[in-house]
Amino acid sequence: MAIRLLIVDDSALMRRQLGQIFEAEGGFEMRAVRNGQEAVDENLAFQPDVITLDINMPVMDGITALAHIMASRPTPVVMVSSLTAKGALATFEALTLGAVDYVAKPDGTISLSIDKIKNELIAKVRAAARARPKVKGGEKGLVERLREERAAKPERSALVHRNVASAEAEGLVLIGSSTGGPSTLEGILPKLPADFPFPIIVAQHMPGSFTGPFAHRMNSICSLEVVEANKPMPIVSGTIYIGKGGADMVVANRAGKLMVLPKPESPNHLWHPSVEVLGRSVLEHCEASQVIAVMLTGMGYDGAEAFAEIKKRGGRTLAESEDSAVVFGMPKELIDRNGASLVLPAHKIINQLIRWARN
């Protein structure tokens, strides 16, 4: 059965280019509209399986349209956004509202940009069509919540207070995630207490221009300090390290101290920052019994072998369950390898991490 796809973009050229990509791919029934209001209306009339949604549009922008879509007829949405810091922040806002994934537009002419992202776009749209959008509603509704969040943003970072003294830790938490990961991480990391005893290293598949703004956003809402691992850094408690996009991230031993550092992308791995590369480096430099590894939502199999090896050597591993994962690919691969100590929905992972780390 064909996937019903709604393309939303104010550029006629972009709509045509996107339509040609999916027409050539086959298996899609498509409609295209030019602004957010038309997207909201067509979501009800056409009832698509998945939507590609631009951010900057006239009449109604993509973020506001997304809030209306999730409130009226929740539908998997893939955001199509620029590779700028502003575009990254808007994308994270969209993921918080329930978008499944995003595709970053590279710089350059539209035709060349589309060619660069064609394979990624097709894969993410197909995955999104099978995904469950995470709708975060409430009494005030998504549209009202969006207005409140935008109004409160300048003040949020001032509300976070950290009194934890940094020190070398006796354990380590690894987290791997991909499609659906940013919003899932937003539901987990801010709920960890300021005295959580282990440092946390996160490999979230993301382009290089997005991980800095993502770390900054998370730092504004977490009790623990959140940093982008864009240079060699000592691994200390009270800190969450976000792997820099456009690179891989490894744990290394320097003069007897554990460090996290970026390195060029491995040509032997498909996704970056690579969860597999991170996990293998931890196995090389840490006792597995001191490691907790968490596999969250995402398509593909990145990190499954390394995390299964961590469990085999005495470490503890968590896989997000199918009922909460936006895309069950990465957790399923870990489970299929008998690599999960426990399988839990996202909202139960927080308490399990706290129990393991404190015991």
DSSP result, 62-80:
HHHHHHHHHHHS---EEEE
User: Do residues 88 and 30 both lie within one domain?
Assistant: yes
User: Do residues 301 and 176 both lie within one domain?
Assistant: yes
CA-CA distance, 130 to 323, in Å (whole number)? 13
Is 153 inside a domain boundary? no
Which CATH number goes with the domain that contains 10? 3.40.50.2300
pLDDT at 72: 93
User: Do residues 123 and 180 both lie within one domain?
Assistant: no
Catalytic site includes residue 41: no
**Residue 246 — left, alpha, or beta (φ > 0 → left; ψ -120 to 50 → alpha)?**
left
CA-CA distance, 120 to 22, in Å (whole number)? 12
CA 98 to chain centroid, in Å, comes to 12
CA-CA distance, 219 to 126, in Å (whole number)? 32
Is 157 inside a domain boundary? no
| Distances from the Cα of 329 to the Cα of 131, 163, 172, 216, 304, angstroms | 11, 38, 24, 28, 10
Is 348 inside a domain boundary? yes
Which CATH number goes with the domain that contains 219? 3.40.50.180
User: Do residues 307 and 232 both lie within one domain?
Assistant: yes
User: Do residues 272 and 322 both lie within one domain?
Assistant: yes
Tokens of 53: 């949604």
User: Do residues 96 and 170 both lie within one domain?
Assistant: no
Q: What parts of the chain have a pLDDT lower than 50?
A: 109, 138-140, 153-166
Nearest in space to 270 (alpha carbons), one of 248, 293, 296, 241: 248
User: Do residues 103 and 171 both lie within one domain?
Assistant: no
Catalytic residue among 178, 183, 223, 281: 178
Q: What is the pLDDT of residues 178-236, one digit of tens each?
A: 988 998 999 999 999 999 999 999 999 988 888 998 999 899 999 999 999 999 999 99
pLDDT at 168: 60
Catalytic residue among 54, 81, 177, 205: 205
Nearest in space to 280 (alpha carbons), one of 253, 259, 250, 260: 250
CA 211 to chain centroid, in Å, comes to 10
User: Do residues 107 and 231 both lie within one domain?
Assistant: no
Catalytic site includes residue 205: yes
3-state secondary structure of 170: coil
- Give the count of domains, the chain: 2
User: Do residues 178 and 56 both lie within one domain?
Assistant: no
User: Do residues 97 and 246 both lie within one domain?
Assistant: no
Confirm if 294 and 176 have CB atoms less than 8 A apart. Answer: yes
Confirm if 308 and 279 have CB atoms less than 8 A apart. Answer: no
Structural domain for 310, as ranges: 165-358
- Strand intervals (E) in 178-324: 200-204, 225-229, 233-234, 239-243, 248-254, 257-263, 291-295, 316-320
Confirm if 349 and 316 have CB atoms less than 8 A apart. Answer: no
| Whether pTM exceeds 0.85 | no
User: Do residues 221 and 318 both lie within one domain?
Assistant: yes
Is 179 inside a domain boundary? yes
User: Do residues 11 and 95 both lie within one domain?
Assistant: yes
